[in-house]
Amino acid sequence: MKAGLLAGAALGWSRVGRLQTLVVWSLVLVAVALVAGWERAQAPSVAADRALTGAAFGLALPLLAFYLVRQVTDRRRLDEAVLEVARHGASRHWAILGLVGTVAVVLAALGGSIAAVTVAVARGLGDPLLLGDLAISAWLGILGGAAYAGLLGLGASIGRRGGGRVASLALDWFLGTGTTALAAPWPRAHLRNLLGAEPVLGLPQGAAMAILVGLGFAYVALALGRTAR
Amino acid sequence: MTVVVTERLSLAPLREISLELTRGRHALLGSSEETAALVDLLTGVRRPQRGTIRVAGRDPHRDPATRRRIGSLLHGEPPLVGRTVRAALTFTLGDRRAVEPTLDRLGLGSWADRDAARLSPGELRGVAWAVALATREPILVALWEPFAHTTGVSRTTALDELAALSEHCCVVCATSSVRDALALEGSVTVLSQGQVVSRQLALPGELAPGRAPDFAVRTPRARELAAALLRSPDIAGVEWDGRTAPHLLKVRGRDAETAARTIVATARAESVPVESLTAADPSWVVVQTASHAALRAAREQERRAPAPATSPGTGNLAPSAAAALAGAPPVAAPVAPPSAGGTEARDPLTNAASNLPGVASTAVALPGTISATLPHPTAAPSQPPGAAEPPSAAPAPVTTSAPPIAAPATAPSPTALPGAQSVPPPRPFPAIAPRPTPSSPPSARPQSVRPSPDDKENL
């Protein structure tokens, strides 16, 4: 168990812990900062909310998640992505947990940083509410990043070469903006709720947070269920 | 002990593969796609669409403990995990101290500190080879094209390692090369169109009962060759039916490769032209390939040291069969002029028969399992008057129960013979016409003897 988990984590880190990831993350930070600055110039009072809902969590975080999951799976299906360790006797389940866990941690860190930069630029460093918003936004970025890692991990377990990633991203995009039961399985819907948008099924923000965490685990469990040991 | 059992295993392009592999060496011969898919299934890398697979009683795809004891070299060998080869092997083997011995085993010790990302695909396979051999307590080692697309691994070393491994586990080499399959010196399973079409259980030198390597040799001087072959300890038996197939010998060897070489060498030594040498059963890959290899070797030998054209009776294997193999223009087989001497005293069959212990005057008791009756010259009816003399380097053959000898019409087509039973009726003799003399008209030149497509197989 431990060996498989560590092997999967090491495998995941060997694929995402690269200069390329750093470059992409830097570009994304610059992009969201520019959007946040533009929003601030348009309407300073709602700039942070609009930048977070739109550019940061609506666009940058899902795309970054897509990129990282594609990198960590080496453009293969999820069970084949751990071939390097599974062929030598590691359990695929533990290896996948290590792999998806690694990308979830990385994505949480990047999501938190994206949210923090967005809020800092949109609010301005002199805003007295900056620190509180920074903390909350970073926490939401962490939750959202982990949830997207799970969702795209599940998507990567579908299709010959993990093409389900694209489908899961598209479904999140189109269905996650609603407020009906159709929007409930998608991270976007609950992230929007937490950012102050209309809630899904009228759920309170506390419930949305719990659902977001639960969705992350559920996605991974489903991905494992689709994979042999 | 049966190690691998597959039942109706299917995964494109494989269709319902049922196999049982025991401890020892096994070659899987087929297309790249077929063999790659089968190795992936055997090693548990991929899941079959249908059917089951058991390695030591367990499904390798679902059981990590079984996979731990399977060494593999895959078609789609993934990149190494780590900056250097040493780091990658430490990650894979889980023990830094095991890296050097693992690489040294295949002579790759100097690669330890190389940048893993800069390894060529062939070098990557070399490292994977080493890792496969380092499997602890292996029950199965399944290798895809172990001798091809691999850099740094000596073929001899690899074969030695596999031979050692096969003492205590099942070694499977999947390849599309007949040469590599035979080099393994194990059983050969032939795949075609996604299915098992042939399973050669008999190993060279380790033949199962009833599966001795039988060769079909087509020669215009079958009886002489039979007599000569009987003297060889590598030949278990010779069958010749002078009545229905006077130009065909069925030879049983003790070992495919040795027997094939002996047949060719004997024919050379006796100056007997060989039109074709094939497996008696065309599905016997080992025998078929040994035949081709022996003919090719003879051809090469003849190229290096061609027989003197003016020396009748020497090296006429190569000018006929070998030249035909090479697609060269027709070459007349050197033939001695008709002898005026007594035939019986110089007849090789007679000599051979008389040299064998317990030989009756009219039948030759052959060693081995094939019984054969060779008409004794003295017991055979006399040759019809007016029949042409056979063009033989040896003295004129003894009259047998074969049909009357006629002038050559066309050269026989040395296609692979399915067996002695399906031999066509005897054709006019000789198959290869006498060497034209200056007075001979151009039309007397022999037809080119063309090999069967199998003979041209690139080994």
pLDDT one-digit tens code per residue, B34-50? 899 999 999 999 889 89
Q: Tokens 């920074």: give the residue.
A: A134
Check residue A169 and give its pLDDT. 92
B64, B69, B94 ranked by CB distance to A91: nearest: B64
Two structure tokens written together for A130? 């900056």
**Residues B47-58: what's their mean pLDDT?**
90
CA distance A90 to chain B (A): 6
Residue count of chain B, please give it: 459
What is the Cα–Cα distance from A8 to B188, expressed in whole angstroms? Answer: 38
Contacts of B131 in chain A (CB under 8 A): 88
Question: Cβ separation of A90 and B47 shorter than 8 Å?
Answer: no
Question: Cβ separation of A89 and B69 shorter than 8 Å?
Answer: yes
Whether pTM > 0.80 for this model: the answer is no
Strand partners, B218: B248, B276
CA distance A15 to chain B (A): 9
The residue of chain B with its CA nearest to that of A86 is B64
| H or E stretch at A61 | helix A61-72
Contacts of B44 in chain A (CB under 8 A): 87
pLDDT over threshold 80, residue B3: no
Contacts of B64 in chain A (CB under 8 A): 4, 86, 89-92, 229
pLDDT over threshold 50, residue B353: no
**Residues A148-169: what's their mean pLDDT?**
91
Question: Cβ separation of B94 and A3 shorter than 8 Å?
Answer: yes
Model confidence over B180-199: pLDDT tens digits? Answer: 888 888 888 888 888 887 77
Model confidence over B428-450: pLDDT tens digits? Answer: 333 333 333 344 333 333 333 33
What is the Cα–Cα distance from B169 to A188, expressed in whole angstroms? Answer: 53
- Which of A87, A96, A157, A161 to mutate: most B Cβ within 10 Å? A87
Average pLDDT, chain B: 67
> Nearest CA to B271 among B341, B219, B207, B213?
B219
Check residue A34 and give its pLDDT. 93
A84, A86, A92 ranked by CB distance to B81: nearest: A84
Question: Cβ separation of A228 and B47 shorter than 8 Å?
Answer: yes
In B, residues 114-143, which contact A (CB 8 Å cutoff)?
131
What is the Cα–Cα distance from B217 to B246, expressed in whole angstroms? Answer: 11
Interface pTM (ipTM) of the complex? 0.79
Check residue B285 and give its pLDDT. 64
Contact (CB, 8 A) for B52 and B9: yes
Contacts of B82 in chain A (CB under 8 A): 14
Contacts of A86 in chain B (CB under 8 A): 45, 64, 67
Question: Cβ separation of A87 and B67 shorter than 8 Å?
Answer: yes
Check residue A157 and give its pLDDT. 92
> Nearest CA to B293 among B172, B450, B181, B144?
B181
Contacts of B77 in chain A (CB under 8 A): none
User: What is the separation, in whole angstroms, between the first and last Cα of chain B?
Assistant: 33
Question: Cβ separation of A87 and B44 shorter than 8 Å?
Answer: yes
Question: Cβ separation of B68 and A89 shorter than 8 Å?
Answer: yes
Choice among A99-108, A116-125, B244-253, B387-396 with the minimum mean pLDDT: B387-396
Check residue B192 and give its pLDDT. 81
What is the Cα–Cα distance from B155 to B54, expressed in whole angstroms? Answer: 30
What is the Cα–Cα distance from A14 to B88, expressed in whole angstroms? Answer: 11
Contacts of A17 in chain B (CB under 8 A): none
Contact (CB, 8 A) for B204 and B286: yes
- Which of B53, B61, B74 to mutate: most A Cβ within 10 Å? B61
A14, A88, A228 ranked by CB distance to B68: nearest: A88
What is the Cα–Cα distance from B60 to B58, expressed in whole angstroms? Answer: 6
- Count of CB atoms within 10 A of residue B60's CB? 27
Choice among A50-59, A79-88, B84-93 with the minimum mean pLDDT: B84-93
